[in-house]
Each structure stands twice: as C-alpha cells, then as structure tokens.
Structure 1
Amino acid sequence: MSAEAQKKRIALISTDREFVKETRVAFATSEAIELVVIEKPVAELRGEVQQAEAGAIIVDIDASQIGDIEALQRLIRKLEGRTPVVVVTASFNAAAARMLVQLKVADFLVKPVTTADLVRSGIRALHGPGREENPEAQIHTFVPAAGGVGNTTLALQTAFQLHNSVLHGASTCVVDLNLQQGACAEYLDLEPRFDISEVESQPERLDRQLLDVMLSKHASGLCVLAAPTSPTEMRTFDTEIVVRMLDLVSAYFDNVVIDMPRTWFPWTEAVLLGSNKLYIVTEMTVPCLRQTQRLIQAFHQTVGREVHPGVIVNRFEQRRFENGVKQSDVEELLGEHFVGGISNNYKLVREAVDRGVPLHEIDPEANVVKDLKRIILPDEAKAVATRSRSLFGYRPGFLKKAG
C-alpha cells in the first residue's frame, strides 16, 4: 500500500481564511495525516463531508449563534456517531458549553487557538479515546560539560519545542535540579515555588495537590518545577525525595525536561538511568571537549553502557581556514556521541533571557531554533526543511528507559 493510501484524513470546515491557512501549514508537517478543507458555512453543507471520507472532522462555528448550533446538530446526526467532531469557536459561554457536551463532540477549542493544540485535538479524535501511543512520559535530560555552555537555555527551548510540537506536543514540565542555584525560573521571569524543605522530612507528602501548588506556570502553558536560589548554601538532598518528585512529575506530564547541575550527587545516577534521552551540552573549545570526553567515560563507568549520551555542541561555528577547533575535529573526537551543533546567536539568546520569553517568540526562523529542532524533533524538522545540513546525526530512541 502506498504512503498516500495509508494517510488518515481530517476534514476542516471553515470560512475563516486566515484560520484555514494556519491549519494547512500545521498539518503539512505530518506525513501520516491529510487535511481536506471544505470552505463553506456548516449550515450550507450538503454531501461534502461524506465525500471527504474523513476519520475526524474539525468544524469552525460561532457557538453563540443558534443557527450554527442547529447546523452542527444536523451534521452530527448525519454522521451517526461514526466520525468524531472537534469544534472550534470564536464565541463561547456556559450555554454553548452545555450544548457541545450534550452533542458529545470529541473536543472543543476557543479562538485564538494555537495550531499545535488544534492538531493534537485532531490526532486524538482520529485515535479515539484510550488509544494514546506513548503512555509513559518522555524524559529529556541535559547535563552541562562546564559552566556557561548554555545548558539551561537549550533545556528550556527543548521544552518549548516539545510542548508546541505538532507530532509530539503535549503537557510538558521543566524540572530544575540545580536545587541551590538554578536559573530556569529566572530565564522565564517566573517565581520559583518548589520548597523542598516542606517534603524533605516526609517525602510521602509530595502528591499531585502539593505539586500543583509548587509548579510555576508560563503563559505558554509550560510548567516549571524550580526551587528558590540559595547562593550561600551548598548541600545535597536524599535520593528518595528527588526520585519521588520525578516519578510524580512523570505521572502527570507527557514530556519532562531536566536541567542537571554540574556537580555529581547521590541521585544523579538514578536520573541518568531514568532518562529516555540524555544530552551533554558543550562548546567548541579544547578544555570543554576534553571534559565532555571525561563525562562520557564517567557515565559508562558508573551507570553502564546502556546510557548512551548524545553531545550537543553549543555556539557551533564551522571553521575551515582559521586556527582552532573545526567541525571535523569535533566529529573525530566525539564519534557517534556527537548529535549536532547549535549556531552561535548570542544577541537572540540574550534578548530572550532578558524578556523571559522563548527564542521562537522573538524569531521562529532563527538558526538556533532550527538547529535544536533538527536534534530534538528530527521528523518534524525534515518535514518543513528546505534543505538538510551536515550537523545533524541524531537517531531517535537511542536511549533505553530504565524500568
């Protein structure tokens, strides 16, 4: 069977040209889904929906208008429960919510809606209830080879990319394990709310309700678990507390991104073994690359060969004729561990940190954003890229999650 024949269809019913345009672009990145657009008011539909033979339908209406609600009712009756319907509406109130619940729509979203949320709703409608493909949280862990290499920046941007991803996007939480001097909350202009002293003596107190209180929430929907900074304090915490915290976060979020400290703690080994994907962030300097080699060796000696770290070279510059470290040197030195380089764009990163916003909010086409996407979300990057670059060498699923 051809790839085209294997595609699943989603029909979009809308007369909002800008919304249609944005939705077309969002679904264009998926090789498994074909979007069929019906640019008609729902009240004027005849046999277009049946002819589309779609596995799910997205209907754009004004839920405050009784005519639109009645037309939606007629459409759902004709479908006879065979095709799930996702409703998008510009106007919304309690009465509209009751009507949509009574009609048993698969989901309803209120404009303005992000295309990532829309596509996720469409995919869930296609799969049906109880058919999640990845029930376990995907844990991405970032370890700095040295101070100032940009570990926190790349961890946060990875979290945003996972959260907004069309193919993998879902609830995402960043866990800052720099428990004394973390910067994740600062980078996003959030108040760190994780008071570890409240649960230190009684780890069993850490439950979903307490977790909600201790989470810092970004305007994008991204959650951050970070402790207030204590510059004069240097101490460790019991492994049981850290593991329980990560288990709890993993139970309630689809994606977990961990920003690790440079220091090796008693709980470090447990975090490394529990990660699905592990990255060492380094720079193109000889001392930093040597330290990266030492870290890889340390991982193998302490947690075994089952942990296979990928190395991201931040502030990467392709030097051909200058003195200093070149790409060929990096590839030879790191071998299969080298998964990609991130372009040097200090001005963009500095502005994002100062404003407390993700990089893509300032410039979605920035080289830093695209470079990281090739590493973290290679399938999506390939779908939208106009050309590939030699920096990418990452293979998805290269880590085995510890049981």
Structure 2
Amino acid sequence: MGPGLAPLARGPLFGAALESAGLERLAEARRASVDLALVDVEEHEPQALTAALDALAASGQAPPVLLVGARLPAGLVRAAMRLQSDVLEPPYSDDQVREAVFGLLDAAGAEATAAAESTSRCWSVVGAVGGAGATTLAIEFAALLAARANRDHAVCLIDLHLADGAAAAYLGAAAAMGLAEFGPAAERMDAALLAAFTTPIAKGLDLLACPRDPLAFEQISKDAVLRILEIACEAYEFVIIDMPRHRRPWTLEVLAGSDEIFVVSELTVPALLAARALAGEIEAGLPVGVRTRIVLNRLASRMFGPAPSMAEAERALERKAEAGISSDWEAAAASVNLGGPISQHRPKSKIVRDVAGVVDRLLGVQTPAARRSGWRPRRAA
C-alpha cells in the first residue's frame, strides 16, 4: 500500500505475488487470502489508517502488518500493537526488508501451527428468555466434564453476564474477576494474570466471574473479553461460557469461536418463539453452516397442565431440538441454596442424567479441532 513501495517488487520482494491496494482493502484483508500487508505510513492520512488497522484487528483474522515510515503517531502505534506487526524506518536496506518480512511470516506460521494443534473445546450456553435455566445447564455441563476429567485445570466456567451474573451465587463461590485490572492490560494479559482472578470450585473446575456491577459492560473492551477466552482455551481442556442473551459488541465473535452453541428454552410458547428467533439471529450472523443446538429445559409429565409436548415444541421451533432436560425443581432449588452443582448435591437427579446424555452424545461424535475463528493471540512485534 503506497506507490513509494513499488521498487521493493523489483528488489527484495521479487517473485512474490503482490497486490496494490487502498485502505478499504486493508480493512478487509484476512490471513486466509493475504500473507502480509506492507503499508507506507506516509502515503496515508493517520486517522484513516488507524481506523483501517482497528477494523483489521477487530476481524480476529488479520494477516501480519509491516509499517514503513518514520515518526509514527501514537494512535497508529497503539492500533499496530493490536496486530502481529513490525515497523521499518527508512532508510532501509534490502536485507532489512527481507528480515522484517520473513520474521513476521515465520511468527504467523508458528502461531497457525499452534492453533491447529489445539484440542481445547468451547461450549457457549445462552438462554432464549430470562429464567430459562441457561446458567444451571452451563454449571452442570462444567461440573460433569470436570468430574470426568479428574485432573486440575480441566474446565473453566466463564460467566459473561458481567453486570449481574449468577454463576458464582449458584455455586456458593466468590466472584473474583476484576474488570478494572483487565481493561488497561488486555494485550499484556497472560495465563498467570487470568489465574489470579479464577475461583476454584472443585477438582478440575475453575470459575471466572465478576462481582455484580451495573457498569461492568462499559468497563471492559471487546479485546479484553476475547483475550480472556484466548488464554482460557490455551489453559483448559474445556471452556464453558454462560452467555448473556442480549447482544454485546463481542457476542458474535465469542459465538463464532465456540465449538458448540446451546440455546436454552422453556416449554412455553413465548420461550419457544424466542428460541427460534434467537437461533436464527445467531446463525445469520455466523459463517454459513454453523448451527445452534436448542435444548428444551424443565420437561414435565403432561398428566396435568397444558405444557407442550416435545413434538409440539419442535413444530413451534421449526427444527429438531438437541435434547430435553427433565424438570426437577427440588433438586435444582436444593443445590442453589446449598451452593454447588446439582450433580454434587443430588447426583441421581433426572437433570444430571439428562445432561450426561447430552455430553455423551456430543463427545461421542466430536473430535478435537481448532477454534472456528479468532481468539488467536495478536502479539505486537
């Protein structure tokens, strides 16, 4: 980008497949089709170039960026730090160009290899309506997976209801994630810092949750949320996310990076209609082929009352449900009041049995794979 770089095509970059482009192309560049973006800083207005770099970083799929120029503005430097980037200050030699280019390409290749070898799995759980039981199911998924793993740091349960999450209260635990500390240090976050804010729940199960704070969503950036998930997926075999149902700036990126997406609904007509709409909205915002799994919660016998059957519910959903979870109010209430998963206090509950069936089915067909999208570390050069 920038006609001043044209001589490089006949010099140190001779033989490379090159494309001359403008800022709009930079913002749309993705590592799947572009190996490296080479930008002449002095050819572009700083604010416009900064905005393009910000858009590139937000994609989660940015190629490495090599900036050529002297005296870069501070805002531009901050934007570049969100990417895998380097700066080349003129005058420079052909060898310096080659060293910078191959350094970025080697780093990107090593990162892609590490990502491809990742075997961690991320499941996101979101309620179609308030009170559908999504938090309860997220806890039971996490507790069951941790019990089966029977080793430390197997499962991390992350409550992204940042303002009013209930996972800590359900588990009788303290919420320890400090958003004020995370915000300014998003790019410097590492496993040690993340571990300082996790709460051990049981062998193999850790909780990451925030204390109640009505301003919490405004205090943490999208970059910080995605960075938390990056680190968690590097440190744990399973990451279970309790998602807010109202969309946030990071919602689609979190869901796009999840291996499974569960939409939890009650068996009421309004809840079923909301589940159908929410599942459609999520799938419309994600890559083609990504499907949500609708879980019908609190199934009960129809001997008394007008509750829909599974077949009637699926007609309202206009799709098959992934599973039904039986109603067991006494077990759920006792566990919440005592603090802990239902599987701990009422291991023979029908809820535990049904959740185990869902986990067995998914683990039986699922093989370890890389994330679908972008919680890759974006390290500054």
Q: So what's the TM-score if we normalise by structure 1?
A: 0.59
Of the candidates 238, 257, 261, which is equivalent to residue 255 of structure 1?
A: 238
1:400 to 1:316, Cα distance in 2 relative to 1, 3 A? farther
Decide whether the 8 Å contact of 2:119 with 2:369 is kept in 1.
Answer: no
Post-superposition Cα deviations, 1:218-246, rounded to whole Å, max 9, x if no partner, equal 13341001111114666363211111110
2:310 to 320, 327, 332: 327
Question: Which aligned pairs between 1:230-379 and structure 2 lie closer than 5 A?
Answer: 230-231=213-214, 235=218, 237-319=220-302, 323-378=306-361
Note the C-alpha offset of 1:297: 1.4
337 and 229 in structure 1: CA distance in 2 versus 1, 3 angstrom threshold: farther
1:142 is aligned to 125
* Cα distance in 1, alignment partners of residues 292 and 224 from structure 2: 25
CA contact under 8 A between 1:307 and 1:399: conserved in structure 2? Answer: no
* 120, 126, 143: which one aligns with 1:160: 143
Equivalent residue, structure 2, for 1:71: none
- Distance in 2, matches of 1:236 and 1:285, equals 35
- Quickly say closer, same or farther: Cα 1:375–1:169, change in 2 above 3 A: farther
Provide the rounded CA distance (Å) in 1 between the counterparts of 2:368 and 2:262: 11
Show the 5 A alignment for 1:3-402: 135-165=118-148, 171-231=154-214, 235=218, 237-319=220-302, 323-378=306-361, 396=366, 401-402=371-372
SS at match of 1:141: strand
Tell me which amino acid in the other structure corresponds to 1:218.
I
Gaps of 5+ in 1: 1-133, 383-394
SS of 1:235's equivalent in the other structure is: helix
CA distance in 2, matches of 1:399, 1:338: 24
Q: Could you tell me how far apart the structure 2 residues matched to 1:281 and 1:203 are?
A: 31
CA distance in 2, matches of 1:168, 1:193: 22
Identity level (%): 28
Give distance in 1, aligned partners of 2:293 and 2:196. Answer: 34
Once the two structures are TM-superposed, the CA of residue 156 in structure 1 deviates from its matched residue by 0.5
Q: For 1:140, what is the secondary structure of its paired residue?
A: strand
Match of 1:126 in 2: none
Task: Decide whether the 8 Å contact of 1:236 with 1:265 is kept in 2.
Answer: no
Uncovered stretches (5+) of structure 2, i.e. residues with no partner: 1-116, 374-381
- Which SS does the other structure have where 1:199 is aligned? helix
The answer to whether the 8 Å contact 2:119/2:370 transfers is: no
Match of 1:272, SS?
Answer: helix
* Structure 1 residue 272 displacement after superposition: 0.7
The answer to whether the 8 A contact 1:308-1:399 is kept is no
How much does 1:324 deviate? 4.0
Moved more, 214-223 or 165-174: 165-174
C-alpha displacement at 1:199, in angstroms?
A: 2.1
CA–CA separation in structure 2 for the residues paired with 1:379 and 1:304: 21
Per-residue Cα deviation, 1:200-231 (whole angstroms, up to 9, x for no partner)? 12312311211111011113341001111114
The one of the two structures with greater contact order (alpha-carbon pairs below 8 A, sep at least 6) is 2
Q: Alpha-carbon deviation of 1:321?
A: 8.1
1:8-63 alpha-carbon deviations (Å, 9 max, x no partner) = xxxxxxxxxxxxxxxxxxxxxxxxxxxxxxxxxxxxxxxxxxxxxxxxxxxxxxxx
CA distance in 2, matches of 1:229, 1:166: 31
* RMSD, aligned CA: 2.8
Answer whether contact 2:267 2:299 (CA < 8 A) is retained: yes
Q: Secondary structure at the match of 1:377?
A: helix
Q: Could you give the per-residue CA deviations for residues 135-194 of structure 1, whole angstroms, max 9, x where no partner exists?
A: 421101101101111111100110011111269997100011011111111111111111
**C-alpha offsets along residues 71-114 of structure 1, whole Å, 9 cap, x if unaligned?**
xxxxxxxxxxxxxxxxxxxxxxxxxxxxxxxxxxxxxxxxxxxx
Q: Distance in 2 between matches of 1:223 and 1:294?
A: 32
Confirm or deny: 8 A CA contact 2:257 2:371 kept in the other structure: yes
Give the drift of 1:335.
5.0
Match of 1:387 in 2: none
